[in-house]
Structure 1
Amino acid sequence: MRDLPLPTLPISALRPDAPRRSLHPRSDAAHLASTHAPRFEVVWARDEREVREAQRLRHLVFAEEMGARLSVPAGAPEGHDIDMFDAFCEHLLVRAPGEAGHPGPVIGTYRVMTPEAARRVGGLYSETEFDLTRLRPMRSKMVELGRSCVHPAWRSGGAIMALWGALAEFMVRNQLDTMIGCASVSMRDGGHYAASLWEQLRHTHMAPIELQVTPRLPLPVDDLQHNLDVEAPALIKGYLRCGAKVLGAPAWDPDFNTADLPMLMRIDDLPARYRKHFLGA
């Protein structure tokens, strides 16, 4: 994915020159027990070593599995997906069961950009792909989710549900109400699937006009077949079931060879069954 045209920042998950965020990512016990997938341990990264684990998983999924062309910052270790936003974000990890008291490997992750962090870095990753001007009134309580992935051996659903439960708890505890991010759709077929999915969703799950955004590099939908009978990928389908809305037409990400749909989800829009499942309310 594209980087902002800004000077390169130090690659460090916890910068020694910056205070910790007032929006604390962990409970007092540090580890969040997930009732949705009791086999898993869900934890917020506490140091650079743990962030590196997430970055290695991201490289495995995005570069090795999906064939993305990742930009590597100067001095960054090989085999990691790293960009300039990582140093400002909180990193949510889900670990597989460990052995003999040792933590298991990281098998799922989300990157979370808080409003305070977005102010420090000068913007959101999504702003490299979309004009988000219309979302300005929401930004004080809006987080950006990104770089989400699960190891191919653990995609049965439990890992993503564990991550979502921790994200919901984080949002409520920090009095945040809105999540945005780019949901990626593969373009291995040349983009016809993505164009057809957009054609469906724009009729069924569009956000109100006052929240709609525009892509900086639009997917050329008019040049693609967009009347195929397609089904949304599992992750996007899950977002939609939780009340998410599509904010506009997809952007084309040539480095990842994906069409990225801008999506928004609000805690208040969670259907009752998901509110009970994730929040116990």
Structure 2
Amino acid sequence: MDTFPMLHLHHRPLTTPVPATAAAPWSVRWARHLDEVRAAQRLRHAVFAGEMGARLRSPLPGHDIDLFDDYCEHLLVTQAGSDDVIGTYRVLTPAQARRVGSTYSDTEFDLTRLRQVRDRMVELGRSCVHPDHRTGGVILALWSALSGFMQRNGLDVMIGCASVPMHQDGRYAAGLWQRLRQDTLAPIDWQVRPRLPLPIDRIDPAPGVQPPALVKGYLRLGAKVMGPPAWDPDFNVADLPLVMRLQDLAPRHRNHLLGGG
């Protein structure tokens, strides 16, 4: 990942912005030009480097940029009455994954077992929300837009890496894995292996850990953990591989996200 090509926006997702309302004082839309992508990259840098202490190698100071950005669609949540980006996801479609040669998750995990679903699988990544707006509503707004995009494009599998902090020298991440593997582990044909595993067998797992809010939200929607975490030394996090199939969406969320379909 030494070169960073200029961003070119490909095959715009055909969707109209979701406007702000009194109940939801934010707007959701897909980035339309480079300036909007840069705003998302600044938010990512503030969260990942500023809050989490990640060591980011970027060609532009104050921005989180990697080569996958050039091939992704970028979903934005902006605050009502402004263009300030308060939440973002990036989405790598199957066609764009073929163009770049892999997904980001491929760099951290052996995804061989997912080869049969790659033509209908999107990768979600670099999700973050500004600390002043970390409510369930912002995440649900992002997920609603993502679900609509997938339905329109005949896609039904989402994957991504959920980062958890390396608290207590990895004991928190090890404890979280021990907890999640008991009741949220994906079936064997959906399981993957980390390329740089967190050394679980050499870490005393912390007891009674609770999942981070974002991971807990994914699991409530119906996501599954595909295997043990990888260690990302640059971000100093443990990455859990997650998969979400639209058919597994929890019934109580189906109507809101999929319009009942």
Report the TM-score range of the alignment, normalised by the length of the smaller protein: over 0.9
Secondary structure of residue in 2 paired with 1:149: strand
**Cα distance in 1 for residues equivalent to 2:248 and 2:22:** 20
**Match runs of 1:142-161 below 5 Å:** 142-161=121-140
Residues 57-90 of structure 1 deviation map (CA, whole Å, 9 limit, x = unaligned): 0000000111100012xxx321000000000000
- Quote the offset at 1:224 in angstroms: 1.1
- Quote the offset at 1:175 in angstroms: 1.1
Report the counterpart of residue 6 of structure 2 in structure 1. Answer: 11
**Cα distance in 2 for residues equivalent to 1:90 and 1:34:** 21
CA separation of 1:251 and 1:37: change in aligned 2, threshold 3 A: farther
TM-score normalised to structure 2 length: 0.95
Counterpart of 2:24 in structure 1: which amino acid?
A: P
**Cα distance in 1 for residues equivalent to 2:33 and 2:130:** 21
Asked if 1:231 is matched to 2:210, the reply is yes
Of 154, 162, 167, 2:146 maps to 167
Q: CA RMSD in A?
A: 1.6
Report the counterpart of residue 223 of structure 2 in structure 1. Answer: 244
Secondary structure of residue in 2 paired with 1:180: strand
Mind listing any 5+ residue stretches in structure 2 that lack a counterpart? none
Asked if 1:64 is matched to 2:50, the reply is yes
Percent of pairs with identical residues: 60
- Quote the offset at 1:34 in angstroms: 7.1
Secondary structure of residue in 2 paired with 1:191: helix
Conserved? CA contact 2:164–2:212, under 8 Å: yes
Secondary structure of residue in 2 paired with 1:255: coil
Report the counterpart of residue 75 of structure 2 in structure 1. Answer: 92
Asked if 1:267 is matched to 2:246, the reply is yes
Report the counterpart of residue 171 of structure 2 in structure 1. Answer: 192
Asked if 1:280 is matched to 2:233, the reply is no
CA separation of 1:89 and 1:141: change in aligned 2, threshold 3 A: same
Of 162, 178, 181, 1:183 maps to 162
Report the counterpart of residue 109 of structure 1 in structure 2. Answer: 88
Report the counterpart of residue 17 of structure 1 in structure 2. Answer: none
**Cα distance in 1 for residues equivalent to 2:185 and 2:259:** 28
Conserved? CA contact 1:40–1:162, under 8 Å: no
Asked if 1:81 is matched to 2:67, the reply is no
Counterpart of 1:77 in structure 2: which amino acid?
A: L
Residues 113-160 of structure 1 deviation map (CA, whole Å, 9 limit, x = unaligned): 000000000000001100001100000000000000000111122211
Residues 202-232 of structure 1 deviation map (CA, whole Å, 9 limit, x = unaligned): 1111111111100000001111112511111
Report the counterpart of residue 14 of structure 2 in structure 1. Answer: 26
Conserved? CA contact 2:4–2:66, under 8 Å: no
How many residues of Structure 1 are paired with residues of Structure 2 in the alignment? Answer: 260
**Cα distance in 2 for residues equivalent to 1:157 and 1:274:** 13
Of 198, 206, 230, 1:219 maps to 198
Report the counterpart of residue 35 of structure 2 in structure 1. Answer: 49
Counterpart of 2:203 in structure 1: which amino acid?
A: L
The list of structure 1 runs, each at least 4 consecutive aligned residues, that deviate by more than 2 angstroms after superposition, is 32-38
Counterpart of 2:17 in structure 1: which amino acid?
A: H
CA separation of 1:169 and 1:39: change in aligned 2, threshold 3 A: same
- Quote the offset at 1:188 in angstroms: 3.1
TM-score normalised to structure 1 length: 0.89
